[in-house]
């Protein structure tokens, strides 16, 4: 869904340390804070205002969103 070269340069906009993101289905998840960013039509939505909290990420991963 996301090109590996793009994934390699993306980082969490919420964290000052700019940690990498992990691809999980249609979400990019921060390896440090656990916030998730949706991928919409193949484009990562990296707006902090629209990010999913770690609790919401778990619900989405479990199919309970």
Please tell me the pTM assigned to this model. Answer: 0.88
pLDDT tens-digit profile, the chain (65 residues)? 688 888 899 999 999 999 999 999 999 999 999 999 999 998 999 999 999 999 999 998 888 65
Strands 36-40 and 43-44: antiparallel
Report the CATH architecture of 4-61. Single Sheet (2.20)
8 A C-beta contact, residue 32 and residue 12: yes
């Amino acid at each position: 869904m996301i090109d590996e070269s793009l994934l390699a340069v993306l980082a969490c906009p919420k964290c000052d340390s700019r940690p990498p993101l992990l691809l999980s289905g249609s979400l990019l998840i921060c390896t440090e804070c656990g916030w998730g960013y949706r991928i919409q039509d193949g484009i990562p939505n990296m707006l902090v205002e629209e990010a999913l909290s770690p609790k919401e990420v778990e619900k989405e991963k479990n199919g309970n969103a």
